[in-house]
């Protein structure tokens, strides 16, 4: 799907999650064919789970992280299904939105996972 | 007469020791008695050896009725066995120094020695038979050392059965020989042989029958095919037992063939049988060595192949070679077993050692090795030639050639020299080693030759027969080994599977006939493939399931973790309940144990009452109940139940689908097979099962088709079905759960059950997934792989009709046993209402029915913690808050580790110094690369990612020293490669073991009997510096600033500030890293101390700090030191860098540290078993399984100024973190302390807690049974799950707990509102406090009372005792 600017529509998934669950989200992303992700560690804020401080001096693990990934839209269902399960058991949020990218081949899985 | 006396002393001294051991009831006495007796026997054997050596003919006659003379063979073997017995007993005396009930253990060791001696120097056939059986019987007893261990019992049964066959064979042979001849064992042997040759039994010459029986007896004792499986079972006995078994008892075939050498060579059938069995076993056992990755397993199979080699030597008539082999190999194996614990540190050293420059290419290396070996053998062969039978000579030279060729091949790959120099060194070394080997054989042969005078003629196996046999055996092996392409891969797989199958000792399961199998078909197969959405959900479910498992770090970098860390989002009680259900583990002490602690004063009645009130506030607020005519408060009834009620039944693990069908044996077999796959996958042996890049799931699926151990479980159609599935673990789980009929809403539960079957391996997989990301070299092994493989095996077993019935998940077995209520009522009634009317019982029941039985341990725990807090408060309150020392001579910064506490107190008491407690990585998370290391290593808590590099740099005036040290390291690496090449090379181990043993045996004796002091490290020719080329000055200044502010040292600098990291120098200790600094990822803290000290001395940094308001006076110098907690010796480091004006201060400080260290060691001594005078040497003692106590008994984390804690003896139970609230108005420093060091302290505390309450499920069990798997971890015995947590010797002593399992309490001197805000802002702290994982008490200033924060966030006054002289542990003898 290409729009008039020549960009390709894809799905952007953002997840805010604690450090302990980070590897699970990473695994779900990669096993669902995501070709990469960006992680921002030590994000601070306030929300359903209360306050959370940002970066701690000597603890990278127990602060929250924001993971951002872009996947083809047809991959969203499976990713959402897995991440929703994870979020059933822990604090965190997930945002899914449409985004547009200039080099879609960067985000296309090279082969079927598994 | 004198000879008879000597015979008696040598053979029976251990028996006397054995009797003394049985009657002694003092710790260590049994061991000392047997050691002494064995040493006496050893000396006696040496005397006999010298004596026989001086007598022409080599035989010392004994008195008539003994009817046996002592020859040189016997004298030599007696010396070896008695020497080994003395070493093993001496070693065991210290390994088991805490155990007062080891009489039987030592008695059996002595019986093995005496029994072997009776076989070596038999006076009469009766004594020979008695000795033979007695040693076997004693061994069987030793294998059952670990009472109640099913694996050991199974091994015991197998050993008993196998040895019985040998006993009967030998008995038959001796009886037959006695009936048909006279004196086969005596000087009249030749007449006896003639008599036996002359008579027949069922048409067969009696001699042949007798000798075939003797060979069978020997084959059973020496684990030759078909008796080869028993030896591996002895690994379920403590390590020293393996040493004596492998050094003496297992050489039975050799001993008895040497004894019957003359008749043996004259019986062709016996010789051919022995030769055939020997050759077959050599091949099989050599293969088994290559497929094992556990140290002891490889050693055991190597022994089997060595024994077989020895039998081959005997069958070709090379008896003196066999004798050389028995003695050399025995000593070699004994020392390897005793030193097996060094594997982990050796692996770590190997990993760190500098790689050699690329040497010769593969084919060139092969040719060069062959040429060098040929040269060496030719040179030696032209000069020395053993005078054994011709076939024996072939053996000597062929195997010498193989050994030096394999060794040279290894050396040339790792040698640091140029190819030409390397080859020259190899040629010299090879010639020397060949000469040592051949010369050794010749010396022994000359010494014992008179003993084999009548067997000079060669046996039926001559050089030609031997050569043909070797070719027939070797050619197919070589073909399979080098065959290229898929055919070769499959051939090698098949061969590997064959070896695995033939050597398997898994439990037997009867295999149904294919036709009888009730294979499920139709309804389930084919199962539609899982959709992507389903697969994603399965992945998420397995991830959720794996939270019940804690990550398990490899032993190369042990990290203490909370075993229930994944469940921290639950409260402690709920997480504990979850662990009981899924892990089947204990999470609290038993009620009896809490009651014993109560009797020791660890709790008071008031604590119990308070625990009842706080757990059941509403119930306890109700009106008193009338019992025995008196109004009795409800809390009293609950307390009576705590004190007298029956204990809970042991928790049971929720079964898996297969286990719910009652297929326990099948499940056990799956555990065993999976463990062996996992072991081989994570620590690949020389002959690995997986192919490069293959995931665990893929490897396991492939193995399911081939692994013969699984044949009884998986029918042919099911194996086909398995082969049809892909390698995606989520899809496999979907298919397998459909077959096992696991409903999708129980997927998490079933996955949990499956993971918990092998919780240790699952923990390692979890570490790989959650903590070792980015390590691309490792093939995939995640918890989902373990779930998938096990689910598939279970589904396959169920579908193959092995088990049938309903696999519906049952309600988890919980501990709410209603049946227990009446027993509890009875117990309470006996105390509160001895008359016991129904009304009384009703009243009691009305209360107890509302108190769940499983809440009682939680109340006990709360009561212990309350009592501890109260004692702590009383101690802290006694101190007048003083002022810090005005002008200290030095400030010493120590790690918060509880082991620093005592040393700090002694230093402050002895000198004008101030001490500071801080995280032992000194605030700089770094990654260090030392001289020659290929890969850098992290030196910071695992919670932090290394942020800056550091490197070791040679000092300018020591460049040559560093280069020389580096070369030494590389040479050592080259020699290690040579040794490893010979050890694993084809045919290499035989000559190696024979020769090396003569050196390693005496070395083992030296290590055991010569006291070794724990020496401080030599001054280093290098410095440790943070990298300045890639990190900006500003960032390094930031590190310096954060270090100083977090440790609260921003002014009042003393002239000397020393950062003191800590280490624990221990040897032969797989769990060594568990004693290292937790803040440095299980490594020593000296590198950080040196790097940070250098940073703070840098003028640039000081300039930057001054701009940020921290003025370090020019006269202040930062130094580094390291505290060895095993010896309490503190070494000042890098003192050469100190300006001249500090030299005197450093000298004074060194003296002060020596005095304080001595005091600290003296204070520790009473808590450790063994002589107090040797407490500082325990780390250097290779026999010591408890070099120090580590962080055992840790209980509290104190955060505040030193004035809050100085002068108080916390008995090494407190983490002390310095903190000055006045200097931290924003609370940022406190936040750092609470979110990092406190969290790490909680992990350590939880690790000790759970390893103590359930040493089997959460702890690593007994260290003496540990069998290292590379640098990954240990298993217990010969197979099974990876052990997790701390070994028993870290938490218990003499069967009693040393550690008091309580949750960590933090006492913080800081504003309560600040603490509250920090907790509110940090989810991790909210979780830990609201879930009761830790307790927090605080006071704003030194003049206020302490308050404890409740899980709901209110503060209540912390209780206190009114003991005039409170101590943290009421009864100091015990926790």
Whether A81 has its CB under 8 Å from any CB of chain B: the answer is yes
Task: Check CB contact under 8 Å for B770 and A89.
Answer: no
Of B65-74, B310-319, B1012-1021, B1326-1335, the one with minimum mean pLDDT is B65-74
| Tokens describing residue B1260 | 């690593």
Chain A residues touching B537 at Cβ < 8 A: 81-82, 85
Average pLDDT over residues B1284-1297: 94
What is the model's pLDDT at position A53? Answer: 75
Asked if residue B524 has pLDDT above 60, the reply is: no
Read off the tokens for B1074. Answer: 């568990």
Buried b (16+ CB within 10 A) or exposed e, B486-521: eeeeebebebbbebbebbbbbbebeeeeeeebeebe
% chain B with pLDDT above 90: 65
**Pairwise CB contact (< 8 Å): A20 & B770:** yes
B726 Cβ under 8 Å from any chain A Cβ? yes
Compare CB distances from A57 to B543, B769, B1042 and report the shortest one's residue. Answer: B1042
Contact between chains at A114 and B728 (C-beta distance less than 8 A): yes
Contacts of B1235 in chain A (CB under 8 A): 53, 56, 58-59, 62
Structure-block tokens of residue B513:
């006939």
Pairing of strands A45-47, B630-632: unpaired
- pLDDT (tens digit per residue) in B1102-1135: 999 999 999 999 999 999 999 999 999 999 999 9
Distance CA(B922)–CA(B912), nearest Å, equals: 23
Instruction: Give yes or no for B744 touching A (CB within 8 A).
Output: no
- Whether B144 and chain A come into contact, CB under 8 Å, resolves to no
3-state secondary structure B1018-1078: CCCCEEEEECCCCCCHHHHHHHHHHHHHHCCCCCCCCCEEEEEEEECCCCCCCCHHHHCEH
So what's the pLDDT on residue B522? 43
- Per-residue pLDDT band for B521 (boundaries 50, 70, 90) equals very low
Lowest mean pLDDT among B448-462, B530-544, B690-704: B448-462
Average predicted confidence (pLDDT) for chain B: 90
Q: What average pLDDT does range B976-1002 have in this prediction?
A: 89
Q: What is the model's pTM?
A: 0.95
What is the average per-residue pLDDT within B403-408?
Answer: 93
Average pLDDT over residues B915-940: 92
The answer to whether residue B1227 scores a pLDDT higher than 90 is: yes
Angstrom distance (rounded) from CA B1249 to CA B1195: 10
Instruction: Give the pLDDT confidence score for residue B1162 in this predicted structure.
Output: 96
Q: Tell me if chain B has a CB within 8 Å of the CB of A20.
A: yes
Cα–Cα distance for residue pair B441/B437, rounded to 1 Å: 6
Q: Least CB-CB distance to A28: which of B536, B943, B1326?
A: B536
> What average pLDDT does the segment B590-597 reach?
96
Q: Determine the longest span between alpha carbons in chain A, in angstroms.
A: 48
The pLDDT value recorded for residue B804 is: 61
pLDDT, average across residues B1218-1236: 94
Specify the pLDDT at position B884.
74
Q: What angle do CA B215, B216, B220 make, to 5 degrees?
A: 115
pLDDT average, residue stretch B733-751: 94
Beta strands at B1347-1349 and B1335-1339: parallel, antiparallel or unpaired:
antiparallel
pLDDT digits (tens, 9 = 90+) for B1061-1096: 999 999 999 999 999 998 888 899 999 999 999 999
pLDDT at B512 over 70: no
Q: Give residue B1017's pLDDT.
A: 78
CB-based contact (8 Å) between A55 and chain B?
Answer: no
**Most A CBs within 10 Å: which of B530, B540, B945, as the mutation test of the A interface?**
B540
Q: How far is A4 from chain B (nearest CA, A)?
A: 31
What pLDDT was estimated at residue B1366? 82
What is the DSSP track for B335-396?
Answer: HHHHTGGGHHHHHHHHHHSPPPPP-S-HHHHHHHHHHHHHHHHHHHHHH----S-HHHHHHH
pLDDT for res B774: 53
Mean pLDDT of B1174-1199: 95
Go through chain A and tell me how many residues it has: 114
The answer to whether the beta carbons of residues A36 and B1216 sit under 8 Å apart is: no
Residue B1084 CA: distances (Å) to CA of B24, B1063, B1074 = 41, 5, 11
Q: Give pLDDT tens digits for B68-98.
A: 668 888 899 999 999 999 999 999 999 988 8
CB of A24 within 8 Å of a chain B CB? The answer is: yes
pLDDT beneath 70, residues of chain A: 1-4, 111-114
Closest residue by Cα to residue B1051 from B970, B1007, B1110: B1110
> Within an 8 Å CB–CB cutoff, is residue B728 touching chain A?
yes
**B228 pLDDT tier (thresholds 50, 70, 90):** very high
Return the H-helix or E-strand segment holding B1269: strand B1266-1269
CB atoms within 10 A of CB B930: 16
Mean pLDDT lowest for which of B208-217, B291-300, B928-937, B1050-1059? B928-937
pLDDT score recorded for residue A113: 44
pLDDT band, very low/low/confident/very high, at B1214 (cuts 50, 70, 90) = very high
pLDDT band at B812 (very low <50, low <70, confident <90, very high): very low
SS3 A99: strand
**What distance in Å separates the CA atoms of residue B193 and residue B199, rounded to the nearest whole number?**
10
* Partner A contacted by B945 (CB < 8 A): yes
CA neighbor of B39 nearest in space, from B1005, B1178, B1184, B999: B1005
Interchain pair A61, B943: CB under 8 A: yes
Q: How far is B743 from chain A (nearest CA, A)?
A: 17
B569 at A interface, C-beta within 8 A = yes
Residue B1235 pLDDT? 94
pLDDT bucket at B773, cuts 50 / 70 / 90:
low
Is A42 near chain B, with CB under 8 Å? Answer: no
pLDDT at B1035 > cutoff 60: yes
Query: Which of A56, A58, A82 lies closest to B540 in CB terms?
Result: A82
Q: B136-188, pLDDT tens digit by residue?
A: 999 999 998 888 888 899 999 999 999 999 999 999 999 998 888 876 665 56
Please give the Cα distance from B829 to B840 (Å, whole number). Answer: 7
Residues of chain B neighbouring A78 (CB-CB closer than 8 A): 531-533, 535-536
A51/B contact by beta carbon, under 8 A = yes
| Alpha-carbon distance B899 to nearest alpha carbon in chain A (angstroms) | 22
Which residues 1026-1055 of chain B have a CB within 8 Å of chain A? 1042, 1046
Residue B945: pLDDT above 80? yes
What pLDDT band is residue B775 in, cutting at 50, 70 and 90?
Answer: very low
Min Cα distance A61 → chain B (Å) is 5
Q: Which residues from chain A sit within 8 angstroms of residue B695, using beta carbons?
A: none
Both tokens of A100, joined, read: 């547009």
* Predicted pLDDT of residue B122: 72
pLDDT at position B777, please? 46
């Amino acid at each position: 799907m290409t729009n008039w600017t020549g960009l390709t529509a894809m799905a952007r998934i953002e997840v805010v999650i604690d450090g302990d669950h980070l590897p699970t989200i990473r695994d779900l992303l990669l096993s669902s064919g995501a070709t990469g992700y960006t992680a921002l560690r030590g994000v601070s804020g306030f929300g359903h789970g209360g306050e959370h401080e940002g970066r701690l001096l000597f603890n990278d693990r127990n602060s929250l992280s924001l993971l951002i990934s872009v996947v083809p839209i047809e991959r969203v269902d499976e990713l959402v299904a897995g991440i929703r399960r994870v979020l059933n058991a822990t604090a965190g949020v997930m945002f899914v939105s449409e985004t547009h990218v200039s080099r879609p081949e960067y985000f296309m899985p090279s082969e079927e996972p598994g | 007469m004198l000879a008879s006396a000597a015979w008696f002393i040598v053979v029976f001294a251990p028996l006397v020791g054995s009797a003394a051991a049985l009657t002694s009831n003092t710790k260590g006495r049994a061991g000392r008695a047997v050691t002494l007796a064995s040493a006496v026997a050893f000396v006696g054997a040496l005397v006999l050896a010298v004596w026989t050596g001086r007598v022409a003919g080599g035989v010392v006659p004994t008195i008539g009725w003994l009817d046996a003379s002592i020859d040189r063979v016997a004298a030599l073997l007696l010396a070896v066995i008695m020497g080994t017995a003395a070493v093993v007993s001496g070693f065991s005396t210290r390994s088991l120094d805490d155990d007062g009930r080891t009489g039987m253990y030592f008695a059996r060791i002595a019986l093995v020695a005496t029994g072997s001696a009776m076989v070596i120097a038999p006076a009469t056939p009766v004594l020979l038979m008695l000795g033979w059986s007695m040693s076997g019987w004693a061994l069987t007893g030793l294998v059952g050392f670990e009472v109640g261990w099913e694996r050991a019992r199974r091994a015991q049964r197998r050993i008993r059965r196998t040895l019985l066959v040998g006993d009967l064979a030998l008995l038959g042979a001796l009886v037959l020989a006695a009936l048909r001849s006279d004196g086969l064992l005596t000087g009249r042997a030749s007449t006896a042989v003639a008599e036996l040759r002359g008579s027949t039994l069922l048409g067969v010459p009696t001699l042949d029958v007798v000798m075939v029986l003797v060979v069978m007896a020997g084959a059973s004792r020496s684990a030759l095919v078909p008796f080869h499986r028993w030896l591996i079972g002895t690994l379920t006995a403590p390590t020293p037992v393996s040493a004596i078994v492998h050094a003496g008892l297992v050489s039975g075939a050799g001993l008895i063939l040497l004894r019957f050498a003359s008749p043996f060579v004259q019986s062709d059938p016996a010789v051919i049988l022995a030769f055939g069995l020997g050759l077959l076993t050599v091949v099989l056992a050599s293969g088994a060595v290559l497929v094992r990755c556990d140290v002891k397993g490889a050693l055991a199979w190597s022994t089997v192949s060595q024994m077989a080699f020895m039998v081959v030597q005997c069958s070709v008539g090379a008896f003196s070679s066999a004798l050389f082999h028995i003695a050399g190999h025995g000593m070699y194996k004994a020392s390897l077993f005793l030193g097996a614990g060094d594997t982990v540190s050796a692996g770590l050293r190997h990993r760190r050692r500098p790689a050699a420059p690329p040497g010769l290419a593969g084919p060139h290396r092969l040719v060069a090795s062959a040429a060098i070996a040929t040269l060496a053998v030719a040179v030696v062969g032209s000069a020395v030639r053993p005078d054994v039978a011709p076939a024996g000579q072939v053996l000597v030279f062929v195997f010498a050639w193989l050994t030096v060729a394999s060794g040279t091949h290894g050396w040339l790959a790792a040698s640091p020299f140029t190819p030409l120099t390397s080859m020259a060194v190899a040629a010299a070394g090879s010639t020397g080693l060949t000469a040592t080997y051949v010369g050794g054989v010749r010396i022994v042969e000359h010494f014992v030759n008179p003993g084999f005078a009548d067997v000079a003629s060669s046996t039926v196996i001559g050089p030609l027969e031997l050569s043909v046999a070797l070719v027939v055996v070797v050619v197919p092996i070589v073909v399979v080994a080098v065959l290229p392409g898929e055919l070769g891969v499959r051939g090698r797989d098949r061969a590997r599977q064959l070896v695995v199958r033939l050597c398997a000792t898994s439990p037997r399961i009867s295999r149904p006939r294919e036709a009888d199998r009730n294979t499920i078909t139709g309804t389930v197969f084919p199962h539609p493939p899982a959709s992507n959405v389903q697969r994603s959900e399965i992945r998420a479910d397995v991830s959720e399931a794996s939270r019940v498992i804690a990550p398990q770090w490899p032993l190369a970098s042990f990290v203490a973790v909370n075993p229930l860390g994944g469940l921290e989002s639950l409260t402690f009680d709920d997480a504990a309940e979850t662990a009981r259900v899924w892990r089947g583990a204990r999470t609290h002490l038993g009620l009896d144990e809490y009651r014993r602690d109560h009797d020791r004063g660890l709790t008071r009645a008031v604590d119990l009452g308070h625990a009842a009130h706080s757990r059941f506030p509403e119930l306890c607020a109700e009106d008193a109940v009338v019992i025995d005519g008196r109004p009795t408060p409800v809390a009293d009834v609950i307390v009576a139940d705590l004190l007298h009620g029956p204990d809970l039944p042991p928790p049971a693990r929720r079964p898996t689908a297969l286990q719910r069908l009652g297929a326990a044996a099948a499940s056990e077999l799956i555990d065993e097979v999976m463990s062996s796959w996992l072991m081989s996958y994570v620590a690949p042996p020389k002959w690995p099962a997986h192919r490069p890049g293959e995931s665990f799931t893929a490897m396991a699926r492939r193995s399911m088709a081939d692994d013969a151990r699984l044949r009884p479980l998986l029918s042919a159609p099911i194996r086909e079905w398995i082969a049809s599935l892909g390698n995606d673990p989520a899809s496999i789980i979907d298919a397998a759960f459909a077959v096992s009929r696991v409903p999708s809403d129980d997927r998490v539960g079933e996955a949990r059950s499956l993971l918990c079957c092998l919780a240790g391996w699952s923990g390692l997989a979890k570490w790989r997934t959650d903590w070792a990301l980015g390590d691309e070299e490792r093939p995939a092994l995640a918890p989902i792989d373990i779930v998938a493989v096990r689910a598939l095996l279970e589904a396959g077993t169920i579908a193959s009709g092995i088990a049938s019935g309903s696999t519906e998940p049952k309600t988890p077995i919980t501990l709410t046993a209603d049946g227990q209520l009446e027993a509890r009522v009875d117990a309470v009634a006996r105390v509160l209402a001895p008359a016991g009317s129904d009304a009384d019982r009703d009243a009691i029941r009305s209360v107890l029915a509302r108190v769940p039985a499983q809440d009682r341990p939680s109340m006990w725990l709360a009561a212990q913690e309350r009592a501890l807090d109260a004692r702590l408060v009383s101690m802290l309150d006694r101190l007048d808050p003083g002022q810090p020392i005005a002008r200290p001579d030095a400030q010493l910064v120590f790690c918060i580790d509880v082991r620093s506490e005592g040393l700090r107190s002694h230093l402050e008491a002895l000198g004008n110094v101030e001490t500071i407690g801080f995280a032992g990585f000194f605030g700089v998370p770094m990654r260090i690369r030392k001289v020659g290391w290929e890969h850098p290593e992290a030196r910071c808590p695992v919670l932090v990612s290394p942020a800056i590099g550091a490197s070791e740099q040679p000092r300018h005036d020591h460049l040559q020293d560093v280069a020389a040290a580096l070369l030494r390291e590389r040479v050592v690496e080259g020699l290690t490669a040579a040794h490893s090449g010979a050890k694993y090379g084809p045919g290499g181990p035989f000559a190696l073991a024979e020769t090396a043993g003569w050196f390693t045996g005496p070395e083992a004796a030296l290590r055991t009997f010569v006291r070794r002091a724990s020496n401080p490290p030599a001054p280093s020719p290098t410095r440790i510096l943070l990298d300045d080329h890639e990190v900006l000055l500003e960032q390094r200044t930031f590190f310096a600033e954060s270090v100083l502010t977090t440790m609260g040292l921003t002014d009042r600098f003393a002239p000397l500030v020393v950062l003191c990291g800590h280490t624990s120098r221990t040897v032969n200790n797989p769990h060594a890293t568990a004693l290292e600094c937790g803040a440095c990822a299980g490594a020593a803290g000296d590198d950080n101390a040196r790097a940070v000290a250098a940073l703070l001395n840098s003028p640039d940094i000081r300039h930057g700090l001054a701009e940020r308001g921290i003025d370090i006076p020019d006269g202040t110098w930062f130094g580094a030191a390291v505290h060895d907690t095993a010896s309490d010796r503190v070494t000042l480091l890098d003192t050469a860098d100190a300006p001249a004006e500090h030299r005197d201060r450093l000298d004074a400080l060194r003296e002060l540290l020596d005095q304080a260290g001595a005091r600290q060691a003296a204070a520790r001594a009473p808590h450790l078993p063994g002589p107090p005078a040797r407490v500082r040497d325990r780390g250097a003692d290779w026999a010591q399984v408890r070099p120090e106590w580590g962080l055992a008994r840790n209980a509290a984390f104190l955060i505040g100024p030193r004035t809050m804690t100085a002068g108080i003896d916390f008995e090494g139970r407190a983490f002390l973190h310095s903190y000055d609230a006045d200097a931290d108005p924003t609370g940022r420093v406190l936040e750092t302390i609470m979110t990092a060091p406190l969290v790490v302290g909680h992990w350590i505390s939880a690790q000790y807690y759970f390893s103590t309450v359930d040493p089997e499920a959460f702890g690593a069990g007994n260290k003496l049974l540990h069998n290292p798997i590379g640098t990954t971890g240990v298993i217990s015995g010969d197979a099974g799950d990876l052990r997790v947590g701390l070994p028993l010797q870290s938490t218990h002593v003499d069967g009693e707990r040393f550690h008091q399992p309580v949750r960590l309490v933090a006492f913080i001197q800081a504003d309560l509102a600040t603490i509250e805000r920090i907790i509110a802002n940090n989810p991790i702290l909210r979780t830990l406090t609201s879930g009761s994982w830790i307790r927090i008490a605080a006071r704003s200033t030194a003049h206020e009372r302490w308050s404890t924060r409740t899980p709901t966030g209110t503060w209540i006054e912390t209780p206190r005792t009114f003991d005039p002289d409170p101590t943290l542990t009421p009864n100091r003898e015990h926790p």
